[in-house]
Structure 1
Amino acid sequence: MKIGPATQPTTGISGSNPETIVIRGHDLVGELIGRISFTDHVWLLVCGTLPNDAQRRILDATLVAIAEHGLVPSVQAARMTLAAAPEALQGAVAAGLLGCGSVILGASEAAGGLFSEVVALHESLGGALDMAASEIVGGYRREKRAIPGYGHPLHKGSDPRAVRLIAVARELGVFGRHSQAALAVERVLPSVIGKPLVMNISSAIPCVLLDAGYPLLALRGVTILARTAGLIGHLLEEQTHPIGFAMSHAAASAITYDGPAPPGFVANEN
């Protein structure tokens, strides 16, 4: 049974014959290899056109900003996977990426959706941007939805990465309505939810990318791509300076067993 629309299946990303490989209309060998950067190529693959200088630099800046994040759960999963299966680098990378969702890496995509809602409401109703931001954030609040991209357990006063990305967007001339919406959300949060929350990196990345013309539906791919590079760095270190089993042992030592047990049993993982 056929599922889906009855259309001729096609792709506009790549094609080839024995002599030529075409990527988004460009000859891979004659036009791209050795002539463009990987950041250029990512933009081409996703957006269908080569980026201008500002688009290239803003995508590059976001990738640099989020590639490394310390020993977060995705990194720990990757390093412990490699410790257990040292022959499976690809499996360890996959283990790290499979743990990326609404809490880790997914917040940028959600924040991008929030800013798009604010921009759309402002364009339809007019008035002050803060009014549109307040209405959208209030709706999130009434529906008991988290406000993605705001607040940070360490960077209380401001997230320096977010501040820098907004500054880069201004320098490149791509600071626009989504970044304005992000700042408007930050301004209205105290009155809507009762406390101030600063923009974090997960709100800065989507607003500057959307302003540069990057598609909303591909936002999570930026954070996944960046974090993949970070995971590879950690996995190289795991091979030369292993800590995977040390992390596993630390976890076992930190967690106390409180389930049923025979009389006199005392858990001791050490």
Structure 2
Amino acid sequence: MIGKRGSATTSISTADAASITVRGRDLTRELMGHVSFSSYFFLLSTGRSPTKEQEFFLDLLLVAIAEHGLVPTNQVARMTLAAEPGCLQAAVAAGILGCGTVILGTAEACGKYLQQARSTTESAADKNAALEAHVRGIRDAGLKIPGFGHPVHKPVDPRTERILELAEQHGVAGPHVDLARRTRSAVHEVWGKPLTMNVSMMIAAVLLDLDFPASILKGVPILARTASLLAHLAEEKETPIGFLMAHHAEEAISYEEKLA
């Protein structure tokens, strides 16, 4: 046997001939027709029903991160469907496989940063000075702060500002949102120029303040982008551009022979 052995149980669901039970609830009588999909996702992931604020902001964040044009995840999905029109699931999978530390996966890295920075600075007499020192240490190590920078949105990411606005209006902006905001100031000071705080940082901050488990931070953008991928693939069947994008890539990239 490879790996650590766990108990041979699952707490998510079970089924028999007459019923399906999900997290202790009867699927057909207690869930179907009673809960939204985002509420159901929260229940599936945590075993708890979400509060009204948790459900509201989960919906908000899913909408915020689902779509952003012909980004690489959508391009590769459309090209995959063009290559194999009969395999929708492979095209979706191809797009999801592109959710890494540069695109979409950064919410998880932002969550780790916020938790570490909070642990490092929360006992300091001057929290802002301690945070700036923490950020400077990251920069001096040749690393970057996750959640900062964007190729399109400058000087601010409009999604970030809207999430922040609503978090404040709803009274859910807690220590992680505060830390994200102060990190923005520290990053500007340490790097000597304003860097866009992108939507991934605010997604992580709001979810952590709303008591979402850190283990699903990366899952929220993946869930959202799946919906977008399906939309792009439906459009690809009606208005194919997968091969057109591949053609333009061939035209844009020149061949350069390198001698060994």
Q: TM-score under structure 2 normalisation?
A: 0.95
1:222 aligns with 2:220: yes
Which has the higher mean CA deviation after the structures are superposed, 216-225 or 129-138?
129-138
Q: Relative to structure 1, is the Cα distance of residues 132 and 116 closer, same or farther in structure 2, using a 3 angstrom cutoff?
A: farther
Correspondence for 1:25: 24
Correspondence for 2:238: 240
- Unaligned residue ranges in structure 1 (runs of 5+): 262-270
Correspondence for 1:140: 138
- Unaligned residue ranges in structure 2 (runs of 5+): none
Please state whether the residue corresponding to 1:22 is helix, strand or coil: strand
User: 1:56-95 counterparts in 2 under 5 A?
Assistant: 56-95=55-94
Conserved 8 A contact 1:74-1:97: yes
Which has the higher mean CA deviation after the structures are superposed, 217-226 or 195-204?
195-204
Q: Relative to structure 1, is the Cα distance of residues 2 and 111 closer, same or farther in structure 2, using a 3 angstrom cutoff?
A: closer
Conserved 8 A contact 1:111-1:149: yes
Conserved 8 A contact 2:135-2:190: yes
Please state whether the residue corresponding to 2:103 is helix, strand or coil: coil
Distance 2:175 2:81 in 1: 43
Distance 1:230 1:105 in 2: 13
* Residue identity matched to 2:4: G
Distance 1:21 1:164 in 2: 39
Please state whether the residue corresponding to 1:227 is helix, strand or coil: helix
* Residue identity matched to 1:4: K
1:39 aligns with 2:11: no
Q: Relative to structure 1, is the Cα distance of residues 136 and 260 closer, same or farther in structure 2, using a 3 angstrom cutoff?
A: closer
State how many pairs are aligned.
Answer: 259
1:160 aligns with 2:172: no
Look at both structures and tell me which one has the larger radius of gyration over its CA atoms. Answer: 1
Deviations 1:106-164 (A, max 9, x none): 111111111111222233x2433323422331232122222111122222221110000
Q: Relative to structure 1, is the Cα distance of residues 259 and 191 closer, same or farther in structure 2, using a 3 angstrom cutoff?
A: same
Q: TM-score under structure 1 normalisation?
A: 0.91
Q: Relative to structure 1, is the Cα distance of residues 163 and 2 closer, same or farther in structure 2, using a 3 angstrom cutoff?
A: closer
Which has the higher mean CA deviation after the structures are superposed, 13-22 or 163-172?
13-22
Deviations 1:158-197 (A, max 9, x none): 1110000011112222110000000010011122222221
| 1:104 CA displacement | 0.7
Please state whether the residue corresponding to 1:9 is helix, strand or coil: coil
| 1:54 CA displacement | 0.3
Aligned-pair identity in percent equals 47
Distance 1:47 1:134 in 2: 34
